[in-house]
Structure 1
Amino acid sequence: MLYNAYELQRMMLGGAAACAAIGAELLSNPALPLGYFGMGPVMASALDVFAHAAAPRGKPAFDIESVTVNGVTHGVTESIVLHRPFGNLLRFTHDGLAPDAPSLLIVAPMSGHYATLLRGTVARMAESCVVYITDWADAKMVPIQAGRFDLDDYIDYLIGFLHHIGPGTHMLAVCQPSVPALAATAVMSAEDDPCRPVTLTMMGGPIDTREAPTSVNDVAMQQPLSWFEHNVIATVPLTYPGGGRKVYPGFLQLAGFLSMNLGSHLMSHYAMFHHLVAGDDESAAASKAFYDEYRSVCDMTADFYLQTIEHVFQRHSLPRGEFVHRGKAIDLGAIRDTALLAIEGERDDISGIGQTRAALHLATHLPERLKKYYLAEEVGHYGIFNGGKWRRRIAPVVESWIATHRRAPLKIVA
């Protein structure tokens, strides 16, 4: 019933948004005098804001057409290099890269948004690296015949992607995937896998949520796992390819994120309205672009979502040494030559300070010279991987770490 109620609401809002968009265009039409005086501009702006907020959204495109390096612009080529049911592997490259440019696998979160949320991350790192990114699928679009997808599968996907790219690859995980990325690194290190990452950068990741718990952590801890299973898990309607699959709907994740900072989101839309009334279309367009991405959401499989709640936020399985992959305990002490970089934002209200840094302490057999911590001052969660502070202050730290450790992983000697 939950999903059906949402679909009904979405259909109604979609029609209202279309009508509002038409009204805004009519009131803004230079051929009509109403748009030049009185309440015309105000009404047009109000309708435009409503139309944008209520319009249905699909999967965005990366649309990274070019990058500029040392004043020279290069066209970027995007391609799918590996198809998998629950997520493809994308590659971004350009002809300005050096022949020995490092390969970087960016692990996008599977947390209700598409991988395009990291568009700014990809664009910046593509300046110096051959960038690969995990393009996770919307669970409601994956036929139920494809089977289940849980944390074990997530780790297996990462290992498979690293094998496809080959030895010498660097890996960067943003937020939630820091946990499975660190686990995959440990699994590959324990097996002396030649494709284990040379470096692993974790940004705002919940490695140990007992450190500086945030409101997100509190919500996960306040209810037993059975509550989440009975209250937020829904069945995909049969109108979708994944009809019958149990999922955590993206619209619930979006509602949760919006409610955390409802006041600021309302003020952002109010500011958008004022920009439109004043004719400042550029500022309004910037706000619209952000919310186009922010409000584009997808579903997660119930298995993956519930296991993440249980092992990452409730049981803290990885830092306690109780995390298991395919029936075998994961030993973070097996990481001996993958250089770890932990990055946190001073104003991060999703992953508190210390949660990502915990990875450096848990890798007990990794030499200190292969560990680095960076605290981005005056940066929130989103700013760690997108925006001006990411491009100017944080990305250079990542690039330097990769450049310092550009070598094939050393063979582990027992």
Structure 2
Amino acid sequence: MMYQTYQNFAKFIDPIRWGAKEHNHVLDTYFDGFIPKSLLSVKAINEQVSLMGFTHSRPEFDIHSILDAEGIDRRVEETCATQTAFCNLLHFKKEGAVGEPKILLVTPMSGHFATLLKGTLKTLLKDHEVFITDWLNIREVPLIEGDFDFDSYVDHIIQFLHFIGEDTHLMAVCQPTVAALVATAILSEDKSDVVPASLILLAGPIDVRVNPTKVNQLANEKPISWFKQKLIANVPYQCAGKGRRVYPGVTQLIAFMNMNMQRHQDTFKKLYQLRLEGKHEEAQLIVDFYEEYFAVMDLSENFYLETVEKIFQKTELPKGVLECKGRIVNPRAIKKPFLLTIEGERDDICGIGQTLAAQDLCALLPAYRKSHHLQAGVGHYGVFNGKRWEKYIYPIVRNHIQSCI
């Protein structure tokens, strides 16, 4: 009922937000970009109003060109390589690039869209051909398409690896590191031709018993029945997936914002002041962040509850009891891929050692095929985005992939 109430309210205020945005567009057009100082505050307020709300569709990637490793500006082609009812596999390739290593970048299904990894993708494109999972907002997937759970997630990774073909490098960020490891174990046990050439796991909850964070503790404070009763809702009737049981993305985002509400308030005050001072480039960085941050997607009930219970509460993978598609997952079957795990020193979501645990689980993988990097001074998002990712972490990823060729 609360989700439906939210949706009704959103439909009520959307025209107000749209009107504020259009008013700014009219001002820009009328004054040809040279806004009088007396109207800067009006524009700044309009911008704040237009940002005050959530969207439920993915922003565009808008990656049209990239400077490759040789400093050549190459056009980037984005296509949908294949799709399912729940995910589009997007393919990004530089014009004129031949024989570059192929990466399957698996994005989290954790309340935001694949564009959250836009910075990661842009960096990888310098030297690689990249496929990325573009998970659809399940509130727009009709019930007739069936359910989506943890097994479905793993199935998608396996299906996409088969589609891309041999010698693909599998890279997962945060939440899907578990599913990526599971998929690799299943393919290895089946002696498949599409076992990844390398497995790259960044800041993921492989074993949350190691250095538990506040996020891990919160997941264990309540029984799974509490999560089902308090956090699961029906998709509103206005959506294509009406009637689905989901964990609303807006619920998670509000919870995250409440943890740092003062910081968000201060940032919006700063945005207003920057507009008045004419520091538009700095202000636009804030706008770009919140347009992405406020774009939320829902998670299916089963996938969300299974993730909480299997990964965070029962820690089934490191205990050797995790089942997928009716079979026990056996990471010891992984003997071929080169494994790279990466963590951030200041990560307050996945503690130090949680991703490194994958090294121990892959016990029969030769030592020379295992690598680990702990990046000093970065938090969770800094592991896969930002200056340190580009300067320190990405070269390690690039060299790791090159060493597998």
- Using the size of structure 2 for normalisation, the TM-score is 0.94
Deviates more, 1:41-50 or 1:101-110: 41-50
CA shift, 1:292, in A, is 0.8
Distance 1:337 1:263 in 2: 48
Distance 1:9 1:231 in 2: 21
**Structure 2 partner of 1:411:** none
Task: Say if 1:103 and 1:283 are closer, same or farther in 2 by CA, change over 3 A.
Answer: same
- Percent of aligned pairs sharing the same letter: 39
- Counting matched residue pairs gives 402
Give the conservation status (yes or no) of the 8 Å contact 2:112–2:296: yes
CA shift, 1:165, in A, is 0.6
Distance 2:134 2:160 in 1: 11
Give the conservation status (yes or no) of the 8 Å contact 1:14–1:56: no
- Describe the SS at the equivalent of 2:58: coil
Deviates more, 1:175-184 or 1:47-56: 47-56
Task: Say if 1:96 and 1:386 are closer, same or farther in 2 by CA, change over 3 A.
Answer: farther
**Structure 2 partner of 1:36:** 37
Task: Say if 1:165 and 1:45 are closer, same or farther in 2 by CA, change over 3 A.
Answer: same
- Describe the SS at the equivalent of 1:176: coil
CA shift, 1:41, in A, is 3.4
Distance 2:136 2:107 in 1: 11
Task: Say if 1:34 and 1:73 are closer, same or farther in 2 by CA, change over 3 A.
Answer: closer
Cα shift readout 1:50-92 (whole Å, capped 9, x = no counterpart): 3223364532111110110222100001111111011111111
1:148-227 alignment runs, 5 A limit: 148-227=147-226
**Structure 1 partner of 2:84:** 84
Deviates more, 1:74-83 or 1:376-385: 376-385
CA shift, 1:378, in A, is 1.3
Are 1:240 and 2:239 matched, yes or no?
yes
- Describe the SS at the equivalent of 2:318: coil
Distance 2:307 2:140 in 1: 21
**Structure 2 partner of 1:71:** 71
1:208 corresponds to which letter in structure 2? D
Distance 2:92 2:43 in 1: 40
- Describe the SS at the equivalent of 2:312: helix
Give the conservation status (yes or no) of the 8 Å contact 1:17–1:55: no
CA shift, 1:44, in A, is 3.6
1:347 corresponds to which letter in structure 2? R
How large is the Cα RMSD of the aligned pairs?
A: 1.9
Task: Say if 1:25 and 1:148 are closer, same or farther in 2 by CA, change over 3 A.
Answer: closer
Cα shift readout 1:309-342 (whole Å, capped 9, x = no counterpart): 0001100010111100111101111111111111
2:265 corresponds to which letter in structure 1? L
1:100-179 alignment runs, 5 A limit: 100-179=99-178
CA shift, 1:100, in A, is 2.4
Distance 1:298 1:110 in 2: 8
CA shift, 1:186, in A, is 0.6
CA shift, 1:240, in A, is 1.3
- Describe the SS at the equivalent of 1:148: coil
**Structure 2 partner of 1:381:** 380
Q: Which runs of 5+ in 2 are unaligned?
A: none
Deviates more, 1:367-376 or 1:48-57: 48-57
Are 1:334 and 2:337 matched, yes or no?
no
Task: Say if 1:397 and 1:44 are closer, same or farther in 2 by CA, change over 3 A.
Answer: same
Give the conservation status (yes or no) of the 8 Å contact 1:206–1:356: yes
Deviates more, 1:377-386 or 1:152-161: 377-386
- Describe the SS at the equivalent of 1:54: coil
Deviates more, 1:122-131 or 1:381-390: 381-390
Deviates more, 1:229-238 or 1:167-176: 229-238
1:362-381 alignment runs, 5 A limit: 362-381=361-380
Distance 1:48 1:101 in 2: 42
Deviates more, 1:40-49 or 1:181-190: 40-49
CA shift, 1:20, in A, is 3.8
Distance 1:125 1:203 in 2: 14
- Using the size of structure 1 for normalisation, the TM-score is 0.93
1:328 corresponds to which letter in structure 2? R
2:289 corresponds to which letter in structure 1? F
CA shift, 1:213, in A, is 1.4
Deviates more, 1:14-23 or 1:155-164: 14-23
Task: Say if 1:281 and 1:320 are closer, same or farther in 2 by CA, change over 3 A.
Answer: same
Give the conservation status (yes or no) of the 8 Å contact 1:25–1:44: no
**Structure 2 partner of 1:290:** 289
Give the conservation status (yes or no) of the 8 Å contact 1:18–1:55: no
1:116 corresponds to which letter in structure 2? T
Distance 2:35 2:138 in 1: 46
CA shift, 1:30, in A, is 4.8
2:78 corresponds to which letter in structure 1? E
Give the conservation status (yes or no) of the 8 Å contact 1:341–1:373: yes
Distance 1:176 1:324 in 2: 17
2:389 corresponds to which letter in structure 1? W
1:181 corresponds to which letter in structure 2? A
Distance 1:77 1:339 in 2: 29
